[in-house]
Chain A
Amino acid sequence: MKSLVLVKYVPDANSVFRINSAGTWVDESSLSFTVNDYDRYALEELLALKDGGAVEEVVALTVGPQAASSALRTCLATGADRAIHVRDDALEGSDPLTLARVIHQAIKDEGFSLILAGLQADDDNHTQLGGLVAGLLDYAYASAAMKLSLSGETMRVERELENNELQVVDLDLPAVVTVQTGINSPRYASLKGIMAAKKKPMTQLGLTELGMSPDSVGAGASKLKTVGFESPPKGKGAEILTGSPDEVAAQLIKRIREHAGVL
Chain B
Amino acid sequence: MATKILILAEHSSGALKDISFELLGEAHRASADAHVVALLLGNGVSELAAELAKKGASEVIVVESPALENYSSDAYRHEILAAIASEDPDAVLIGNTPNGWDVAPLVAAGLMVPLASGCARIAIADGSAKCARKAFNGKFVHHVEIVDQRPIMATMDKGAAAPFDGETDGSVRTLEPTLDPGKLKSRFVETKKSESGGLDLSQASVIVSGGRGVGAPEKLDVIRELADALGGQLGASRAVTDAGWLPHEHQIGSSGVTVSPKLYVACGISGAIQHVVGMKSSGYIVAINKDPDAPIFGIADVGVVGDLFEIVPALTKQAKEAKG
A36 at interface, CB cutoff 8 A: no
Cβ of B14 within 8 Å of any chain A Cβ, yes or no, is no
22 A–B contacts from the bound complex (CB under 8 Å): A14-B212, A19-B140, A123-B135, A131-B104, A135-B106, A141-B74, A143-B102, A144-B101, A162-B97, A168-B188, A223-B114, A223-B146, A223-B147, A224-B146, A229-B141, A239-B301, A240-B304, A252-B304, A253-B318, A259-B284, A262-B230, A263-B319
Asked if B192 is at the interface (CB within 8 A of a chain A CB), the reply is yes
Q: Are A128 and B101 in contact (CB under 8 A)?
A: yes
From A14, which residue of chain B is reached at the shortest CB distance? B212
Cα distance, A14 to B74, chains bound together (Å): 37
Size range of the interface on A? 35 or more
* A16-B291 contact in complex given A159-B102, A182-B248, A249-B311, C-beta closer than 8 Å: yes
Stretch with Cβ within 8 A of A (4 or more), from B24-32, B38-46, B166-174, B249-257: B249-257
- Looking at the assembled complex, report how far the CB atom of B243 sits from the nearest CB atom of chain A, in whole angstroms: 8
Contact B98 A160, beta carbon cutoff 8 Å: yes
Give Cα A226–Cα B116 distance, bound, in whole angstroms. Answer: 11
> Measured between alpha carbons, how far is A131 from B193 in the docked complex, in Å?
25
Chain B residues closer than 8 Å to A33, beta-carbon distance: none
Give the residue name and chain of the B residue nearest to A240 (CB).
B303
Tell which of B77, B102, B110, B313 touches A144, judged by Cβ atoms closer than 8 Å. Answer: B102
Taking each of B130, B148, B256, B284, which has the highest tally of chain A beta carbons within 10 Å of its own beta carbon? B284
Closest 9 CB pairs of A and B: A135-B109, A131-B105, A228-B143, A238-B303, A140-B185, A182-B242, A260-B263, A238-B300, A224-B114
Chain A 99-142, CB-CB to B under 8 Å as 1, else 0, gives 01000000000000000000000111111111111111001111
Q: Given the interface contacts A167-B71, A225-B145, A262-B206, does A235 sit within 8 Å of B298 by beta carbon?
A: yes
Cβ of B187 within 8 Å of any chain A Cβ, yes or no, is yes
Chain A residues with Cβ under 8 A from B139's Cβ?
A: 17, 231-232
A100 proximity list for chain B (CB < 8 A): 109
Given the interface pairs A234-B298, A252-B315, A259-B301, the reply to whether A159 lies near B258 with Cβ below 8 Å is no
Q: If A140-B74, A168-B190, A249-B311 touch, does A182 touch B238 (CB 8 Å cutoff)?
A: yes
Binds B, one of A61-69, A76-84, A169-177, A207-215: A169-177
Given known contacts A162-B255, A263-B319, A167 and B149 CB-to-CB distance under 8 angstroms = no
Do B115 and A97 touch (CB < 8 A)?
yes
Interchain nearest-CB distance for B156 vs A (Å):
13
**A43 vs B41: C-alpha distance in the bound complex, in angstroms?**
35
Chain B 175-204, CB within 8 Å of chain A: the 1/0 string? 000000000011111111110100000000
Q: Which of B114, B140, B206, B319 contacts A232 (CB 8 A)?
A: B140
Main secondary structure of the interface of A (DSSP, over half): mixed
Q: Which of B77, B143, B190 contacts A226 (CB 8 A)?
A: B143
Contact present for A166 and B323 (CB under 8 Å)? no
Q: Tell me how many residues of B have a C-beta within 8 Å of chain A.
A: 104
- Interchain CB contact (< 8 A) of A122 among B136, B188, B283: B136
Partner of B189, one of A156, A223, A250: A156
Q: Are A253 and B319 in contact (CB under 8 A)?
A: yes
A192 is an interface residue with CB less than 8 A from chain B: no
B210 within 8 A of A: no
A227 with B143: CB separation less than 8 A: yes
One digit per residue, 1 when the CB lies within 8 angstroms of any chain A CB and 0 when it does not, for chain B 278-321 equals 00000111110001110101111111111000110111011100
Q: Does B118 contact A (CB under 8 A)?
A: yes
Show the binding face of B for A, using Cβ within 8 Å.
71-74, 77, 96-99, 101-110, 112-118, 130, 133-149, 155, 185-194, 196, 205-206, 212, 230-232, 238, 241-242, 244, 248-249, 254-258, 262-263, 283-287, 291-293, 295, 297-306, 310-311, 313-315, 317-319, 322-323
Closest residue to B295 on the A side, CB-wise? A232
Residue pair A122, B241 in contact (C-beta under 8 Å): no
Residue of A nearest to B213 (CB): A14
Q: Is the CB of A128 within 8 A of B115?
A: yes
B residues less than 8 Å from A167 (CB atoms):
71, 98, 188, 190-191
Contact B194 A166 (CB under 8 A): yes
The CB with the most chain A CB atoms within 10 A, among B186, B190, B310, B315, is that of B186
Q: Which of A5-29 contact B (CB under 8 A)?
A: 13-14, 16-17, 19, 26
Inside 8 A of B106's CB, which chain A residues have their CB?
Answer: 131, 134-135, 141
Tell me which of A224, A225, A253, A260 contacts B315 (CB under 8 A).
A253
Contact between B136 and A136, CB atoms less than 8 A apart: no
In contact, B194 and A227 (Cβ under 8 angstroms):
no
Report whether A240 and B117 are in contact in the complex, using a CB–CB cutoff of 8 Å: no
Given contacts A223-B113, A235-B298, contact A125 B136 (CB under 8 A): yes
The answer to whether A51 has its CB under 8 Å from any CB of chain B is no
A222 contacts B258, C-beta separation under 8 Å: no
A163 close to B258 (CB less than 8 A): yes
Interfacial chain A residues near B187, Cβ < 8 Å: 169-170
